[in-house]
Structure 1
Amino acid sequence: MINDAGTIPKEMRMYKKVFGGIGKLLAVSSVLALAVAGPAMAGGTLRILTWDGYADKDWVAQFEKDNDATVEVVFAGSNDEMWAKIQGSQGKDFDIFATAAAGMQRYYEAGLLQPIDLSKIPNHAGQLPQFQDLSKIAGAVHDGKTYLIPYAFSPMTLIYDPAKVNPAPTSWSVMWDPQYKGKVLLYDDGESAFATAAIINGVQTPFHLTDQQFKDAMPKLVDLKHNSASFYTFVQDSVQLAQNNDAPIIFGAYADQQIKALAAGGLNYKQAYPKEGVIAWVDTWAITSGAKADSYDLALKWINFVISKKIAAELTEKSGYANSVTSTDTIPAGTKTFWMQPDEDPTKRTDLWNQVKATP
């Protein structure tokens, strides 16, 4: 779920889950709910909107017990769905949500967030060094106030089948190699696609492209499309496609989580960190403008709870996502990292990406 060359910038996603990522992303495309039936408990009610895996039922049960509270969880399947739910109710239907930091600008502009009282989140002090200075995390600090707390993050890596790709790839350019024509699985996301093409072209600001840089990226991506076997959105999609296609190369939008899922599907893949650098996303918790009184206090307690060492480690163990507390080796030292930021025009990227996919 952080930017440029190993530092955490001032905004971040994967506009989908990762950036959005982050969160970043995932196994459900429809809304699911873990709502506890019956009257609200004495400690109040906390309404959570998040990604599958970010509010495990065991964690919810423990939190309810510890706080004598009721927790209602709704899982979203995309960043756009999450935005529609928060914006549609003007923040009144949910108290807290987790999504990619890079996609938060529209929430700020719509007045749908409220500041987080860091003094009530002591576990922030135990987060990894790269998450200590929140002003360096894309969108975490706005007008001098903290609005986002990092939760999960991941690089986007080059996933490959070692039995068919030997030696191990060291550059993104392998995705364009003619020997893999029709054998590359691509992540269906215009933001990361144009960022990757820009990085290949030597651009150092892949989320703020000029018109000329977009023009340079278009033929590159059309050529890549001609090498593709198919496109995927969620982790399990990529597993199913890899099981049913000869796909020795995968654009790994979910990195470690994806490797874990592929292995569970009986597939042996490894991942590489290309020399040109990798994109990375971070997912964060934010409190809506609709959280009032007791719900706001519960939201702070929830954030502090899920970034405890125990719960953070369980997030990684259960989902495969790197967490912001104990995941110290997710991105190898020395890897050039482009942390996702709000890009220059998300609609433009989506429209151009659709043109790329429609090109014969």
Structure 2
Amino acid sequence: MEKNELRDRLAAGRLTRRQFARAAAAAGVGLVTLPLLARHGAADTGQIEYYTWATYEDPNLHKAFTAKYGHEPNHSTFGEEEEALQKMRSGYHPDVTHPCSYSVPRWYEAGIIKPIDTSRLSHYGDIFPELKTIKGTTKDGKALFVPFDWGNSSVLYRTDLVDSNTDSWMLLFDEKYKGRLATYDSVDGAVSSAALVLGFKNIGTLDDGQLAKVRDLMIKQKPLLRYYWTDQTSVEQGLASGELVAAYAWNASVVALKKQGVPVAYMNPKEGILTWVCGMALVKDAPGDEQAAYDFIDAMIDPQSGQYLIDNDGYGHSNRKSFDLVKPERLAELGLRDPVALFKQGVFFEETPTAFKEKYISMFEAVKAGL
């Protein structure tokens, strides 16, 4: 798919942000950038550059910044975090960037981001406390990033076609639905879901005995799957047509399918729902206006920005006051009626140490290859 076509489809509402990023990567676009205004020096009031996931530069997400400074920030976008890290390691210096919690430790150790003075953020006190203490996102009591958006990985299923295991990850391992299930072609997603079924919560540090049990369960799952998916669009199409009855999926697909009138439900599994959290980070030695960078972060965590994010994309926002601005029936539709309950039951994605990750990858590839 050509770069312009990707953008046209995004503008027409036929692609979510993360689908856009994945399709761009598949098309070989790599770093996706929009035309930037001339880069100004640090002395120019309000001039900053924001480096983020594709389309999170949406002006509706930082209206307070634009109102204060009278212009948009410059921006560039990335398709995935490793790409972003390497770009910045090579000398690119934006002012604000957008990592997810599990990447924060690595980015900090690489010297890319710096601690944030949260006292300079007027909305920081309204952020859900559960999101401020995720492992690896603080250093010596100081925040390394400010939570902004969060979402889930769980089971999305057809309510008219499924009548068992509707409260459990076990649905993706149910022989009753052989050939009509799908899971994410990712070691993180596949291992995590199997580990939760087995009752393991230490997903990032499974010992050899636990990993062997995960492997056995995944071997049993493989012949039940219609496919391992790499593009969430294929999940939505499969569920819409009835080819699939259930699949590992993200929040945005709930929004997309319900807009089409497809009878689906997004599970809050009894074993725990997987939760990811991404946020704003300050880049070390950034050239722009530091106060403007803080004002930009504050605008992103404004409850009005959160209302837009929730309504438009179906993802959660870090500011608890955002949820008061969204209609209760809309929150119920999105499965976001009780964020605190989701956090308590949720299992947050954390960085997997390299030694463990290599074992996971080797095992997953062997399972897919039938070895």
| Superposition TM-score tier, normalisation by shorter sequence | 0.7 to 0.9
- Residue aligned with 2:20, SS: coil
* 8 Å Cα contact 1:159/1:251 also seen in 2: yes
Q: Give the secondary structure class of the aligned counterpart of 2:79.
A: coil
Counterpart CA distance in 2 for 1:94 and 1:169 is 45
Per the normalisation by structure 2, the TM-score is 0.80
Q: Using the alignment, how far apart are the partners of 1:272 and 1:279 within structure 2? A: 11
Change (3 A) 1:346 1:105: farther
- Residue 86 of structure 1: CA displacement? 2.5
* Corresponding residue for residue 204 of structure 2: 207
Q: Does residue 27 in structure 1 map to residue 20 in structure 2? A: yes
Matched position secondary structure for 2:350: coil
Summarize the Cα distance change of 1:172–1:332 in structure 2 as closer, same or farther, 3 Å threshold: farther
For residue 330 of structure 1, report the CA deviation from its aligned partner: 4.9
CA distance in 2, matches of 1:25, 1:189: 15
Mapped contact 1:24–1:153 kept (Cα < 8 A): no
How many pairs does the alignment contain?
330
Contact persistence 2:121–2:294 (CA under 8 A): yes
Task: Compare the two structures and name the one with the higher helix fraction.
Answer: 2
TM-score normalised over the length of structure 1: 0.82
Q: Does 1:316 pair with 2:310?
A: yes
State how far apart, in whole Å, the 2-side matches of 1:78 and 1:87 are: 15
C-alpha separation between the residues in 2 aligned to 1:239 and 1:47? 34
Residue 357 to residue 330, structure 1, CA distance change in 2 (3 Å): farther
Indicate conservation of the 8 Å contact 2:100/2:279, yes or no.
yes
1:91-240 correspondence runs (5 A): 92-131=92-131, 134=132, 136-167=133-164, 169-240=166-237
Aligned to 1:352: 363
Shift of 1:114: 1.0
Residue ranges of structure 2 left out of the alignment (5+ in a row): 1-15, 25-30, 324-335
Cα distance in 2 between the residues matched to 1:81 and 1:161: 35
* Contact 1:153/1:324, CA 8 A, preserved across alignment: yes
Separation in structure 1 between the aligned mates of residue 238 and residue 45 of structure 2, nearest angstrom? 46
- What is the root-mean-square deviation in Å for CA atoms of aligned residues? 2.7
Whether the 8 Å CA contact 1:124–1:307 is kept in 2: the answer is yes
Q: Is the 8 A contact 1:154 1:330 kept in 2?
A: no
**Cα offset, 1:153, TM superposition:** 1.1
Which residue type is aligned with residue 302 of structure 2?
S
**Cα deviation 1:98-123 (Å, max 9, x = unaligned):** 12101222212211111111121111
Offset from partner CA, 1:149-197 (integer Å, 9 cap, x none): 1111123222110111025612211211122112112112212321221
8 Å CA contact 2:104–2:144 kept in 1: the answer is no
Contact (CA 8 Å) 2:184, 2:229: kept in 1 or not?
A: yes
2:59/2:72 contact within 8 Å kept? no
Q: CA deviation at 1:246?
A: 0.8
**Whole-angstrom distance in 2 between the partners of 1:39 and 1:203:** 49
Matched residue type, 1:100: C
**Offset at residue 68 of structure 1 (A):** 4.2
Distance in 1 (alpha carbons) for counterparts of 2:161 and 2:35: 46
Question: Is there any run of 5+ residues in structure 1 with no aligned partner, and where?
Answer: 1-22
Q: Secondary structure at the match of 1:346?
A: helix
Q: Which amino acid aligns with 1:75?
A: T
Structure ranking higher on relative contact order (CA contacts 8 Å, 6+ apart): 1
Percent identity, aligned pairs only, is 22
Contact 1:36 1:71 in 2 (8 A): no
SS of the residue 2:205 aligns to:
coil
Counterpart of 1:272, as a letter, is M
Deviation by residue 1:69-112 (Cα, 9 ceiling, x = unmatched): 552222222232222322333xx332211121012222122111
Alignment match of 2:268 (pick from 264, 270, 273): 273
After superposition, the Cα gap between the structure-2 partners of 1:145 and 1:153, relative to the gap in structure 1 and judged at 3 Å, is: same
Alpha-carbon distance between aligned partners in 1 of 2:263 and 2:167, rounded to the nearest angstrom: 18
Contact map agreement 2:95 2:288 (CA 8 A) in 1: no
- The Cα of 1:289 is off from its aligned counterpart by 1.5
For residues 172 and 230 of structure 1, the distance between their equivalents in structure 2, rounded to whole angstroms, comes to: 17
The correspondence for 2:79, drawn from 77, 80, 87, is 77
